[in-house]
Structure 1
Amino acid sequence: MKKSPFTCDHNLIQTVVKTIVRHDMLTPGDVVLVGVSGGPDSVALLHVLVRIAERLSFSIGVAHLNHGLRGGASDGDARFVAEIADALHLPCHSARREVAAYRRTRKLSPEEAARSARYEFFEDTAVSHGYNKIALGHHADDNAELVMMYLLRGSGPAGIAGIPPVRDGRYVRPMSNVSRRQIIAFLSKNGIGYRIDGSNADVRFTRNRIRHRLIPMLQKDYNPRISHTLNRLADILRAEEEWLDPLVREMFERCRLKGSVDSVVLSVPELDRIGLAPRRRIIRMAISRIKGDLRRIELAHIDRVSVEMLAVSSVRTKTIHLPDRIRVTRTDAALCICRESVPLRRMSLSSSPPDYDYQVADVPTHRKPTELRIAEIGGRLQFSMASVEDVDGWRKTSPDTAFFDMAAIHFPLTVRNFRPGDRFTPLGFSGTQKLKAFFINNKIPVALRRQCPLLLSDEKIIWVVGHRIAEKAKVVASSKNLLKVQLLLA
């Protein structure tokens, strides 16, 4: 790696080093993938990191994704980035992605599609080539504009907290405390060229109107340091969010009754005991866990659940539908939030989810587990075998893991969903019980009952998956070999 072609110790470099140290962004031995678009921000970041890499003992590679959105200009950006990397003797990883098509298949806005494609490319490149950090060129003015955009949308603290300097211990933004003006001055002083993306001046986009019209007006007429003020607000809220997050997770676990693939069941009495603010956060957390994100989920949706559905002290069953196939069902004691495998409007044509029935013929060995994918619930069951001496903690497992005495079961096993008239003998009981009664007694919402997998041996239910095993298949003192079954995300 060749040093960047400037020698002056610009203030920007010192600011970047302080930011890296303050947030523990980079440590000796890190292998850093730098996202470079060709614009001033990422080009400045690359040159600064090259300059300080030897001092901080990390190595660098360059990543560039051609979005294919600006025709020849996009191709010119790719060539420009490759030339920079070559001049600095750095590995350059580039790819082309037709974001317009990517956007259509995923039903995203142009900005969301470009961002999603870019991050997928960064992740794939990092994994394939051994990079453990990904550095991006976001700076203080970027963050101020984003905070203002979220303020105008009426977002909550998490949105107004802005762009974190470090995310997931992997993505780092060393220029978080550097302004756009400092970046341009740095590039100009050192004679470093960069590319200009004309779309950044297009005021049809909200972000650009904030950058070119609103922020300058606020600087001129209200607060010359508005960007600094917005960044300070973001810092305060980010610290508050970091403090609150473990508290909310603890409350979430207290409220959670059950959970399976694509579902969370919460205790209504526990939710009633807490205030509206933590209740909203718990509902958001539940939806985020099963959906993977909170796109299209607005405050109005959260309040339909956290306020309207919980306002009535007693209710037989109440169901509402939220975007992206999220179904929320309320009973007297339980609130079930689940994501359906098909659109809810199609499910409404049928009174219940489709039946499924699978056979598990292969007996697992100590070295070779067996897996069964259950398409109807978007999950899979993994079967493995171990001797009782090799398994610690089989008496205390999560709801999605169960152990059975291999001597008490026979292959092939059956995995299917609920049928009318099903009965089993729950662990600790001597007689059989109707499965419907078991569901009712354990406050399992109707919306989850037909999705819940049942594991059968010799046509007898040995596990209501995620809830209770049967007495006949339990591990006993004389057990030698155990069958371990886990319910996993697909």
Structure 2
Amino acid sequence: MKHDRDLIARCIGAIERHHMVSQGDGVVIGTSGGADSMALVHAMVELRQELGISLHIAHLNHMIRGAEADADEAFVADAGRALGIPVRTRRVDVPALARACGITVEEAGRNARYQLFEDVASEHGLSAVALAHNADDNAETVLMRIIRGTGLKGLSGIPPVRTTASGLRVIRPFIDIERSLIEDYCAARSIAFRTDSTNADTSYTRNRLRNQLLPELEERYNPSVRQALLRLARNAAIDDDCLGTLAQQLRDACLVCGEPIRLARAGLAAAHDAVVSRVLMWACAQAAGSGQDTYQAHLDSLVALLRIGKTGDGVDLPSGVRARLDPDCLVFETTLGQATVHAARDWGPLTLVPGESVIAGGTGVTGAAWRVRAARARISGCRGGGAMTEGLARIASEALGEEVRAGDAGRLWAVFDAALLDAMGCARLTVRAARVGDRMAPFGLSGEKLLSDVFTDAKVPRQERSLMPVIECGGKVLFVGGLRQSGLAPVGPDTVEVVAVAVSKDERNP
């Protein structure tokens, strides 16, 4: 019985070391039915009295493996009942979701799982979700990131604890425990589990790495390569945390102004590039108003500008941001002109509440005011033939509480499947002005196009483009008010809840 005692001791050690839970917390355990997640369920059941926590189980049927997936779902439900733990299962056609959202099956599955966790936590007042990632998963993740290219944060591997945007704490009690010990624990405790047949499918990158590359590295190069990767991750995490703290101190010391962002040149020039780069990444993201990635080439250009540039020199960056040198400051500003800045400041985020609608207004320099109305509402099905414009118009009118004309579909109003938006990670819609580099997947077309090309095709005058409201969701352009909607999250026969958006232009109300 040594194996099961070792696992429990190391599990409680990780929980205490990383402050994963507190007395009175409610925890939902993400459970696939596999060995790792079933071992986690049993370990948390054994520890729940000592930790003073309550437990729920959540399982997502990805609808990829047919009867096998259905059997997994039934297995998890039965296991939860046998242990006296509430179980929530959900079925999502993940391949269809991936196609509808224009993302990979892996990404769609992850989004759907996390949406389930968020929903269960919200419904039952839970504060954390426990996932069964183990030390082997962590080593594989680090190796995969090295192969694809990464920085210090990527080398840090899977974090033991992180917090989602909604405040849900994601904990991984097994993150320091080897897969072999978990399997020994299952054997010692006679814990039943399911085996996913796709784990052997080498068409998936992670499976090739796990089943082919890592064993070859162990056999031919270093039998302790997994331990070496984990040491690298631990050291990288320590260094990353240290540099993050130093960068925050430098940012606070150098920030002269927040709009536009102005950073004191003297303070930046005196600091190490490793710390300066993090401050510059933060400034780029703030100026862009989004989570736009800043690539190494951009950072190299910014550091060179700071070190050897002269007053008046500048560097163009993604999302319409330009960094330039003033006599005393490094300034980050948009390159879309004052109309864009003014419009973006007037249009704020729209947080959607089921059954309610919200209104935002933005005024462009021409004096034309845009009114943007959005609502989230349940429907009794896609009446009127599902995708028929007249049926969608009725759905939009009911959701918004005001009549829309069928002839304005996709231009002045649009409706989207709320469940698909949730799976894309869209907690809110953001209304903003167009940015350089924006892309969208226009409804009825395959693939994405630059938004500038969509404007050109529609013959929208250049001076008007920055005044049109862009509705963004999860970093993707969902709808350009007055122009076109995207093909993301389309309403279909199975839609039960929609997000409706409508825009109108009032020339008389500047």
TM range (shorter): 0.5 to 0.7
Alpha-carbon distance in 1 for matches of 2:194, 2:292: 32
Report the equivalent of 1:47.
42
- Segments of 5+ residues of structure 2 without an aligned counterpart are 347-357, 365-432, 434-465, 468-510
Cα displacement (A) at 1:245? 1.7
SS of the equivalent of 1:134 reads strand
CA distance in 2: counterparts of 1:335 and 1:17, whole angstroms: 48
- Report Cα offsets for 1:424-466 as digits up to 9, x if no partner: xxxxxxxxxxxxxxxxxxxxxxxxxx99xxxxxxxxxxxxxxx
Task: Give the one of 145, 148, 154 matched to 2:149.
Answer: 154
* Pairwise CA distance, 1:70: 3.2
The alpha-carbon deviation at position 116 of structure 1 amounts to: 2.7
One-letter code of the match for 1:120? Q
How high is the TM-score relative to the length of structure 2?
Answer: 0.61
* TM-score, length of structure 1 as denominator length: 0.63
The change in CA–CA distance for 1:355 and 1:284 in structure 2 (over 3 A counts) is closer
- 1:108 and 1:278 map into 2 onto residues whose CA distance is 34
Deviations 1:154-210 (A, max 9, x none): 311111011111223821111112111111222223322222223332223332222
How many Å apart are 1:301 and its aligned residue? 3.0
Residue 340 of structure 2 corresponds to residue 353 of structure 1: yes
Give the superposition deviation at 1:298. 2.7
Counterpart CA distance in 2 for 1:290 and 1:76 is 49
Deviation at 1:33, TM superposition (A): 0.9
Which structure is richer in relative contact order (CA contacts within 8 A, separation 6 or more)? 2
Cα distance change, pair 289–357 in 1 and its aligned pair in 2 (3 A): closer
Matched letter for residue 324 of structure 2? R
**Partner letter of residue 275 of structure 1?**
H
**One-letter code of the match for 1:184?**
E
Q: What is the match of residue 272 of structure 1?
A: 269
Aligned residue identity for 2:33: G
Query: Does structure 2 retain, via aligned residues, the 8 Å contact 1:103–1:110?
Result: yes
Q: Does 1:315 align with 2:302?
A: no
1:244 aligns with 2:243: yes
Partner secondary structure for residue 71 of structure 2: helix
Match for 1:176: what amino acid?
I
Distance 2:222 2:316 in 1: 45
Structure 2 counterpart of 1:300, from 294, 297, 302: 297
Alpha carbons of structure 1 residues 267 and 102: separation in structure 2 relative to 1, 3 Å: farther
> Which residue matches 1:483?
none
Inter-CA distance 354–234: structure 2 relative to 1 (3 Å threshold): closer
Distance 1:151 1:202 in 2: 22
Residue in 1 that maps onto 2:67: 72
Counterpart in 2 of 1:90? Answer: 85
- Residue 171 of structure 1: SS of its match in structure 2? strand
Match of 2:110 in 1: 115
Q: Secondary structure at the match of 2:274?
A: helix
Q: Does 1:208 align with 2:195?
A: no
Change (3 A) 1:356 1:192: closer
Matches within 5 A, 1:125-140: 125-140=120-135
Q: Deviations over 1:91-147 (max 9, x none)?
A: 112223333454355543332332233223222321221111211100000000111
Residues 329, 335 of structure 1: 8 Å contact kept: yes
Structure number, greater radius of gyration: 1
Change (3 A) 1:164 1:357: closer
189 and 292 in structure 1: CA distance in 2 versus 1, 3 angstrom threshold: farther
Contact 1:309-1:330 at 8 Å conserved across structures: no
Equivalents in 1 of 2:132, 2:67: separation in Å? 24
- Residues 310 and 325, structure 2, Cα contact 8 Å, conserved in 1: no
Structure 1 position 326, deviation (Å): 5.1
- Count residues with an aligned counterpart: 352
**Residue 167 (1) aligns with residue 162 (2):** yes
Q: CA deviation at 1:249?
A: 0.6
1:353 is paired with a residue of what secondary structure?
helix
Partner SS, residue 132 of structure 2: coil
Q: Deviations over 1:35-57 (max 9, x none)?
A: 11112111110111111212222
Distance 1:35 1:15 in 2: 20
1:353 corresponds to which letter in structure 2? Answer: T
One-letter amino acid of the structure 1 residue matched with residue 316 of structure 2: I
2:322 to 324, 328, 333: 328
Query: 8-17 vs 175-184, which deviates more?
Result: 8-17
Residues 472-483 of structure 1 mapped to structure 2, 5 A cutoff: none
Deviation at 1:152?
A: 1.9
Q: 1:226 to 1:7 in 2, by over 3 A?
A: closer
Query: What letter matches 2:322 in structure 1?
Result: V
CA shift digits 1:232-261 (9 cap, x unpaired) = 22112212222222211111122323325x
- Do the aligned partners of residues 111 and 286 (structure 1) sit closer, same or farther apart at CA in structure 2, a change above 3 Å counting? farther
Identity %: 33
* Letter matched to residue 44 of structure 2: L
* Contact in 2 for aligned 1:326/1:337 (Cα 8 Å): no
Q: Structure 1 residues 111 and 328, CA, compared in 2 at 3 Å: closer, same or farther?
A: farther
Please say if residues 28 and 126 of structure 2, whose CA atoms lie closer than 8 Å, have aligned partners that are also in contact.
yes
Gaps of 5+ in 1: 1-5, 360-370, 378-416, 418-449, 452-490
Per the alignment, residue 186 of structure 2 pairs with 187
CA contact (8 A) 1:268 1:310 kept: no
- Aligned match of 2:53 in 23, 39, 58? 58
